């Protein structure tokens, strides 16, 4: 569990801290980190402080951002390699270009023929080391340009598959068309792609309709604080 925010001193922030931030829905990871940075600078009248995070969350996802300050920013690469845990919801029978709700549904399919057993059995196809293509609507770069820039221009671009590892893929509830899940996976795994590919395997399509990151390595979201609360705690008189 991280130390109480208000008890951390200026020197401790500069020397290095690992802060657990619970990113709100609709915020970018950059906005969350920037909010934390602004708060620390304002509190201690600092012109600058090193700060970064160990793994981006999409704006429509919530949950754990591990934020490092000062010399602890050197730990970011190591933290990014840790296993991650997510909980979320896939909506079957509807696909979107972004594989989530950032874009509107383009295609619908009838899910009446699906049963819970078929859904549970299909998880086996996505457990272990699998090949996965990142979504076109992602911040990965190709030829110096981010993939989402190609997507917004309506351009086709070839995205190579890559190996990722899914250690746990558990269906925690089915209330059609929504399927709730828990996943433990390696660095570089896209939950949006998992939802898209899962729907494809079932023959009805799917998109990711909710996502929360609950754990990175040994760090839990239960010990994290909303950036707005972080600000209130650190700046309170």
pLDDT above 90 (res 197): yes
Confidence label for 136 from pLDDT (cuts 50, 70 and 90): confident
pLDDT above 60 (res 9): yes
Kindly state the average pLDDT of the residues 6-19.
Answer: 95
Per-residue confidence (pLDDT) for residue 150, from 0 to 100: 58
pLDDT above 60 (res 151): no
pTM of the model: 0.92
pLDDT above 70 (res 142): no
Q: Which of 58, 143, 218, 222 is catalytic?
A: 58
CA-CA distance, 9 to 22, in Å (whole number)?
Answer: 21
Q: Which CATH superfamily is domain 84-216 in?
A: Pseudouridine synthase (3.30.2350.10)
**SS3 sequence, the chain?**
CCCCHHHCCHHHHHHCCEEEEEECCCCCHHHHHHHHHHHHHHHHCCCCCCEEECCCCCCCEEEEEEEEEHHHHHHHHHHHCCCEEEEEEEEECEECCCCCCCCCCCEECCCCCCCHHHHHHHHHHHCEEEEECCCCCCCCEECCEEHHHHHHCCCCCCCCCEEEEEEEEEEEEEECCEEEEEEEECCCCCHHHHHHHHHHHHCCCEEEEEEEEEEECCEEHHHCECHHHHHHHHHCC
Q: Where are the domains of the chain?
A: 5-81+219-235, 84-216
Protein fold of 5-81+219-235: Pseudouridine synthase (3.30.2350)
CA-CA distance, 48 to 54, in Å (whole number)?
Answer: 20
Q: What's the pLDDT tens digit per position in 206-236?
A: 999 999 999 999 999 999 999 999 999 999 8
Is 11 labeled as catalytic in the residue annotation?
no
Q: What's the pLDDT tens digit per position in 64-122?
A: 999 999 999 999 999 999 999 999 999 999 999 899 999 899 999 999 999 999 999 99
Per-residue confidence (pLDDT) for residue 1, from 0 to 100: 46
pLDDT above 90 (res 175): yes
Please tell me if the domain spanning 5-81+219-235 has the same topology as the one spanning 84-216: yes
Per-residue confidence (pLDDT) for residue 153, from 0 to 100: 61
pLDDT above 80 (res 147): no
pLDDT above 70 (res 140): no
């Amino acid at each position: 569990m991280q130390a109480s925010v208000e008890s951390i001193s200026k020197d401790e922030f500069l020397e290095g801290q690992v802060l657990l931030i619970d990113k709100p829905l609709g915020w970018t990871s950059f906005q969350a980190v920037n909010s934390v940075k602004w708060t620390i600078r304002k509190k201690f009248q600092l012109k600058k402080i090193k700060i970064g995070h160990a793994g981006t969350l999409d704006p429509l996802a919530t949950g754990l951002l591990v934020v490092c300050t000062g010399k602890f920013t050197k730990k970011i690469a190591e933290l990014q390699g840790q296993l991650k845990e997510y909980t979320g919801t896939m909506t079957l029978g509807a696909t979107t270009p972004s594989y989530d709700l950032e874009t509107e549904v383009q295609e619908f399919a009838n899910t009446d023929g699906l049963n819970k057993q078929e859904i549970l059995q299909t998880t086996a196809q996505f457990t272990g080391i699998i090949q996965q293509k990142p979504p076109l609507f992602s911040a990965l770069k190709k030829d110096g340009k981010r993939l989402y820039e190609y997507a917004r221009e309506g351009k086709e671009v070839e995205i190579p598959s890559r190996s990722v590892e899914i250690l746990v893929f558990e269906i925690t509830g089915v209330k059609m068309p929504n399927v709730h899940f828990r996943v433990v996976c390696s660095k570089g795994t896209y939950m949006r792609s998992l939802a898209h590919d899962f729907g494809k395997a079932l023959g009805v399509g799917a998109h990711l309709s909710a996502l929360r990151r609950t754990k990175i390595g040994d760090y839990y979201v239960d010990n994290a604080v909303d950036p707005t609360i972080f600000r209130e705690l650190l700046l309170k008189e």
